[in-house]
Structure 1
């Protein structure tokens, strides 16, 4: 009798150890594009609203797959030796550069989302540098939908703080869209607003009720829309309907307490799939011109 039970127990253990995989995705097609050892770089003409005015600037989206450490939440140096600690992620780096009067803003946001495993994003970071000082924010997934975070800021009222929060990161929606729009939870959800938005508005970190939808805007394009229930923020991302779901632009709207709307927009200029880390010589600078980067 004990022998007959043993196989069943082993089966239950194996099932419990299996991680749920993403569904309704053609991973053969997906892998042919994303696992070719290159990154996708897109440049955008940016109109960033800051200090009551729209500022002309430039944004860049960099999407690339990496072998990530489940435990340390960093890129693995030796993935072939990592065993079960290795997990494949899609990384988005988003940069924004613009001028406010005499001084510049340099911003960067990173999001790391498992490619095949149906898990929320593992890590999110954002940094802002301008002549007044710099700030850095990082959130790591601690369990199913909970994040532990740190904020380091030069502002006295913010200082260095630790944050615990539950919800879906708005900044993950970009990665889910690129994996497949069918991975985005539609309808009402608890969303943690973008780390960039938190830096601009200096509001305490909190998850907010929001409504997520996707609609057709032309024969070839769709639009992801996020509307926050309290009416303080709206996000719209335009993307191509077919794989690999290129992002063509976005719009962010901040609504102030007096009803004033502050709008930020980005429109794609160029896109390239390239192993950019191998092109770091002076003679490679022509590649920036191809991407229409300043």
Structure 2
């Protein structure tokens, strides 16, 4: 009986010792990311939609949170959560632009463990425009297996559940911010961005991609992701030095007729601030500092 208990405790100890990220200076990282503030970045957006380039605005917000391993939700009482608590870096990405008379409002969220060597735990994307709205969610089940759900106003899509295996493109942004060395290089199986899926209404499948990092200047690097189908290339520009801020990105899509559509974003402003405490009318001047419309 005592032997069985000892074996169980040893097994439990191994189960709790989850692999940690390597080659990351978490002292430097924590000084920046655990100061109780978020990093907000605003971008001038050129979004291709319906065959034309639309001028708009994008925002990237990065902030750390205490997350529930089981529920994949932000913890209300992290000090009481015990081993259910895991630290994540959250990215919220918004895109706003107008197509003719009506506007698009899109939002993507990604939740990536900070210290544990794990893929992103959860990804969500929503799209609202005058025709209707849709919502997609992916949850990591194990390894690189995700369970997904889609709720859409399109009859052909409707409400459905699906499974998908691979690395999420939407995880790349947080991995760069943790440390670019956390991004896998070479050939991998990847799920296209949930925002791209909304635009293309394509099936939820993983595709082989080739990932490489390029030096584009003395202070800047670029992550390039090329899909094997030949119809999509993503390029994310970021600072070489910590905290590896995102300076802009490009998404090149090639249509079946060979025409290319280039969506791009160029940073306008950045600020580290506890924005959730800045909700009074007198705080609206902060939008001007971020050059937000």
State the TM-score, normalized to the length of structure 1.
Answer: 0.97
Q: What is the deviation of 1:15?
A: 2.8
Q: What is the deviation of 1:144?
A: 1.1
Superposed, 1:145-224 pairs within 5 Å as 145-224=144-223
Q: What is the deviation of 1:91?
A: 0.2
Return the alpha-carbon distance in structure 1 between the equivalents of residues 100 and 122 of structure 2. Answer: 33
Return the alpha-carbon distance in structure 1 between the equivalents of residues 11 and 68 of structure 2. Answer: 26
Aligned to 2:57, what secondary structure does the other structure show?
strand
Q: What is the deviation of 1:282?
A: 0.5
How many positions carry a matched residue from both structures? 293
Query: Residue 253 in 1 paired to residue 235 in 2?
Result: no
Q: 1:59 maps to what in 2? A: 58
Aligned to 1:151, what secondary structure does the other structure show?
strand
Q: 2:94 maps to what in 1? A: 95
Aligned to 1:24, what secondary structure does the other structure show?
coil
RMSD: 1.5
Aligned to 1:116, what secondary structure does the other structure show?
coil
Return the alpha-carbon distance in structure 1 between the equivalents of residues 2 and 235 of structure 2. Answer: 58
Return the alpha-carbon distance in structure 1 between the equivalents of residues 79 and 221 of structure 2. Answer: 39
| Residues 223-249 of structure 1 deviation map (CA, whole Å, 9 limit, x = unaligned) | 000000111111000000000000000
Superposed, 1:122-133 pairs within 5 Å as 122-133=121-132
Q: 2:120 maps to what in 1? A: 121
Q: Which moved more, 1:54-63 or 1:15-24?
A: 15-24
Structure 1 68/4 Cα, relative in aligned 2: closer, same or farther at 3 Å? closer
Superposed, 1:11-30 pairs within 5 Å as 11=10, 13-30=12-29
Q: 1:274 maps to what in 2? A: 273
Return the alpha-carbon distance in structure 2 between the equivalents of residues 182 and 5 of structure 1. Answer: 42
Return the alpha-carbon distance in structure 1 between the equivalents of residues 153 and 2 of structure 2. Answer: 64
| Residues 110-130 of structure 1 deviation map (CA, whole Å, 9 limit, x = unaligned) | 000000000110000000000
Aligned to 2:253, what secondary structure does the other structure show?
strand
Q: What is the deviation of 1:17?
A: 2.7
Q: 2:74 maps to what in 1? A: 75
| Residues 196-220 of structure 1 deviation map (CA, whole Å, 9 limit, x = unaligned) | 0000000111000000110100000
Aligned to 1:120, what secondary structure does the other structure show?
coil
Query: Residue 138 in 1 paired to residue 140 in 2?
Result: no
| Stretches of structure 2 lacking an aligned partner (at least 5 in a row) | none
Return the alpha-carbon distance in structure 2 between the equivalents of residues 128 and 153 of structure 1. Answer: 9
Return the alpha-carbon distance in structure 1 between the equivalents of residues 71 and 127 of structure 2. Answer: 24
Query: Residue 285 in 1 paired to residue 281 in 2?
Result: no
Q: 2:43 maps to what in 1? A: 44
Q: What is the deviation of 1:10?
A: 5.0
Aligned to 1:19, what secondary structure does the other structure show?
coil
Return the alpha-carbon distance in structure 2 between the equivalents of residues 135 and 30 of structure 1. Answer: 35
Structure 1 177/5 Cα, relative in aligned 2: closer, same or farther at 3 Å? same
Q: What is the deviation of 1:4?
A: 9.9
Return the alpha-carbon distance in structure 2 between the equivalents of residues 166 and 99 of structure 1. Answer: 34
